[in-house]
Amino acid sequence: MTWFAGARRDYPWRHTHNWFHLLMAELMLRRTRSDQVAPIYSAFARQYRNPSQAEKDPKGVRQQLHGLGLHWRNDQILETIQFLSHRYGTSSTLKQDVDLMETPGIGEYCNSMLRSRLFGEPLAAIDSNVARVFCRIVGEEYNPEVRRKKWLKELAARFMLVATERESPGTNGNSGRKDPTAKSLRPGRKEAAGPQQTRQTQESEALRQKVSESDGFQVSKDPFEINLSFLDLSALICRPGKPRCPECPLRTHCAFARADSESR
């Protein structure tokens, strides 16, 4: 992807395969800017290679995290470190059958980001910013809670499968999985499809069909890279207030960008 190759943001946690460091980075990034986290993460990673080391030095960990603010969040990180130390000790690797969702403080987003990196699993990591990108592409109204909606999770999951070539655009491939977005973008609608729903379904299908032919979509076959590209797109281009639609690599497939262009 030309845009992502030239515009991607560079942070230290994007270069590591240390599962503990990756997990700590995601916890540090909650409600804190990446630029603020970067130096604190780097110092933490140099000092603590695994959760066992960190658990033995709670005072030092607190000092490391002090610059992040949100001290209630730092308490949660210490709780997570204690859990990880008791569960995994000094282990440098995790088995793929590990259930990260059992870890205190780990939700769907963090789980998807970690598993896409550690195991190459095609899981879409959806935070509120990535949800905004998908909503704009398909012409759906955005609000911060939409990331929890079933229809958006299914759309993002379908996109990831196609983008990583686990399935072909517009088909179920050889996976045998039912297409979660085949009937409707949104759940709970039993009535006949109206003009709006038909448009949404068309936008969804267009999104899937264009995956393999669009430079904007075809980042790589690496799920982690795809997740990073959407994070960077949401931060640099598809911004909350003033999106830079003319510069967006997805603009030809985006309902919001087309509406923006027509209004100029």
Q: 33: which residues sit within 8 A by CB, 6+ positions away?
A: none
pLDDT for 184: 32
What is the spatial distance between Cα 3 and Cα 9, in angstroms, rounded to a whole number? 11
Q: What is the pTM of this model?
A: 0.82
Cα gap 75→5, rounded to integer Å: 37
Q: What is the pLDDT along the chain (264 residues), one digit of tens a residue?
A: 567 888 899 999 999 999 999 999 999 999 899 999 999 999 999 999 999 999 999 999 999 999 998 788 899 999 999 999 999 999 989 999 999 999 999 999 999 999 999 999 999 999 999 999 999 999 999 998 999 999 999 999 988 888 887 665 554 444 333 343 333 333 333 334 444 455 545 555 555 555 445 555 555 789 999 999 999 999 999 999 899 999 998 888 899 998 877 776
Q: Where in the chain is the domain with CATH 1.10.340.30?
A: 10-100
**Backbone angles phi and psi of 57, in degrees to 5:** -135, 60
Tokens of 84: 């990880």
What pLDDT sits at residue 209? 59
Q: Which of 169, 250, 253, 249 is nearest to 212 (CA)?
A: 169
Q: What local confidence, expressed as pLDDT, does residue 161 receive?
A: 86
Task: Return the closest-CA partner of residue 145 out of 122, 124, 126.
Answer: 126
What integer pLDDT is reported at residue 201 of this predicted model?
52
Instruction: Check if the beta carbon of residue 3 is closer than 8 Å to that of residue 28.
Output: no
pLDDT at 72: 87
| CA separation for the pair 239, 236 (Å, rounded) | 6
Q: Cα angle at 75 between 69 and 81, to 5 degrees?
A: 115
Report how far residue 187's alpha carbon sits from residue 34's, in angstroms, rounded to the nearest whole number. 34
Q: What is the amino acid identity at position 60?
A: G
Question: Which two structure tokens, joined as six digits, stand for 101?
Answer: 């969702």
Q: Which of 203, 55, 239, 22 is nearest to 125 (CA)?
A: 22
Task: Supply the pLDDT for residue 125.
Answer: 97
What fold characterizes domain 10-100? Endonuclease III; domain 1 (1.10.340)
Q: Fill in the amino acid letter for 219.
A: V
